[in-house]
Amino acid sequence: MISAQRWLGLLLLCLQAATLAVLSRTVAFPATIVLTAAVVLWSGVRLVWSRDQLFVVLVLLVLLFAAKYLLFPTNPQYRLGFLQFQLAFVVSQFVLTWQLIHFCVLDARFTR
């Protein structure tokens, strides 16, 4: 049986992904995050990683999304206003990915 806490986590992840999809007018990335989280929820498979492993994954994700921001040019239509949309978009993708990883990982300290 799936706990209410896991269902709520999936619901919140879906809400954030839907918000990102609507505001950025993209569907592929948010849909991939939601589908992956749903598969993890219903399959019951969870990875057991230590804090050190999670830290390494965090550093790799930061480098990956920083490279994505630096290597791909910004879209001129999003240069209006005071916020840098491209930077905010990459940061929101990073946060969604990091939340998905935490949704999929069981901390090694709690596997006794």
Token readout for 98 is 């990091």
Q: What pLDDT, on the 0 to 100 scale, is given for residue 34? A: 97
Q: How many domains are contained in the chain?
A: 1
Nearest partner of 26 among 80, 82, 92, 81, judged by Cα: 92
- What is the full per-residue pLDDT of the chain (112 aa) written as tens digits? 788 988 999 999 999 999 999 988 889 999 999 999 999 999 988 888 888 999 999 999 999 999 999 998 766 666 666 667 888 889 999 999 999 999 999 866 665 5
pTM value is 0.85
- Which distant-in-sequence residues (6+ apart) come within 8 Å of 102 by Cβ? none
Strand-pair category, 47-49 with 105-107: parallel
Q: What pLDDT, on the 0 to 100 scale, is given for residue 84? A: 76
Q: What pLDDT, on the 0 to 100 scale, is given for residue 98? A: 96
